[in-house]
Structure 1
Amino acid sequence: MRIAKTFIFGAAAAAVAVGFTAAPAAAAPTASTVVTFDIGAGTLDIVAPASADLGTGSPGGTIDAALGPVTVTDGRASADASWIASVTSTNFVTGTGTPSEVILASEVDYWSGPATATTGNGTFTPGQPTAADAAPLDNAVALTAFTHVGGTGNNSATWDPTLVVNVPLDSEAGTYTGTVTHSVA
């Protein structure tokens, strides 16, 4: 008979243990999640036409034509989104480059004109707002083409600069080639 008592006692202990583990969990009325994300910083870029044909002129005259749109895109997402765009030029050469086959960069005037489009905040200022403000290009000293001061985040500006070639009286006939370089910092 002893065997039966042990069995009954063991079954009663198991029933008591089950009663203690069956209590429900308390409900959570709120749950918080820490969320993070990044805003990536891009680059400061400038794009200008790959080539431009200004047309034809005569010795002692001028050739006046638009270069084509120049665009600065500032994707740096900066607290101070200021930048300065500048322009330089090589001399313009034809033939073998004798003195009468060279038009110096300083004999070519540049004027940016007003912005044709802008995005973002801050102040956009053309280097030479009107034709009366045209300034000679140089191959050693950069001319300010356009500026952006202040503002935050991203911005962009586009302008369509004009070049005025003051053709020297002693220039020879030919197709003159040079390079106008815009940069931004």
Structure 2
Amino acid sequence: MAGPASGADTVATVVVSSGSLGMSSAATSASLGVVYPGTVAAVTLHGITVTDNRAGTAGWGASVLLMDFTGDATGARLSAAGATYTPTAATTTGTVSVTASPPTDPTTPRIVQTATCVTGNNTATWDASLTLHVPNEAIADAYTATLTYSVS
């Protein structure tokens, strides 16, 4: 009987690279409409997305911060303290569990979506309602504010 032929082994390797954690909002501007003092202005913000390409298991939290509204012509201010940010449940890809926060006052950075049970790359996309109570003493003007998103 002949013995087995001798062979050689090949060691195969692969390096799985990691990317970044980022956030984007679909709209660069949004109008809360034309309202009168003492009423509520509102807008639905669509397509807010977190992209996690870190290829890991760490979760993340997405936050929002709304600055006061400033009148374009008068410089008058509408306090962002009268605002509410309400996120919807996120649509996800990859292995991740994302939980939306209840409606929140966005005048200090607030976590609005939290990701847990992460494995590998994932995305989460949601919509949100932004409402602003316009006080009775508001001055007629067009007001502008910045809503800043961040993720960590």
The structure where helix makes up a greater share of residues is 1
Q: How many residues align?
A: 147
The structure where strand makes up a greater share of residues is 2
Per the alignment, residue 104 of structure 1 pairs with: 79
Per the alignment, residue 12 of structure 1 pairs with: none
* 2:63 counterpart of 1:70: no
TM-score (norm 2): 0.90
Which one has a bigger Cα radius of gyration?
1
Per the alignment, residue 20 of structure 2 pairs with: 43
Deviation at 1:122, TM superposition (A): 3.0
Per the alignment, residue 178 of structure 1 pairs with: 145
Deviation at 1:152, TM superposition (A): 1.2
Per the alignment, residue 88 of structure 1 pairs with: 65
Q: Secondary structure at the match of 1:73?
A: strand
Q: Secondary structure at the match of 1:66?
A: strand
Give the letter aligned to residue 19 of structure 2.
G
TM-score (norm 1): 0.75
Deviation at 1:178, TM superposition (A): 0.6
Deviation at 1:57, TM superposition (A): 1.1
Structure 1's unaligned 5+ residue stretches are 1-26, 129-133
Deviations, residues 96-134 of structure 1 (Å, cap 9, x unaligned):
32xxx211111111111211x201223210012xxxxx2
Deviations, residues 115-156 of structure 1 (Å, cap 9, x unaligned):
1x201223210012xxxxx22220xx2111101012211111
Give the letter aligned to residue 125 of structure 2.
T
* 2:114 counterpart of 1:147: yes
Q: Percent identity?
A: 37
Distance 2:110 2:24 in 1: 17
Give the letter aligned to residue 131 of structure 2.
V
8 Å Cα contact 1:91-1:104 kept in structure 2 = yes
Question: Which runs of structure 1 show a deviation greater than 4 angstroms over 4 or more consecutive aligned residues?
Answer: none
Structure 2's unaligned 5+ residue stretches are none
8 Å Cα contact 2:30-2:43 kept in structure 1 = no
Q: Secondary structure at the match of 2:88?
A: coil
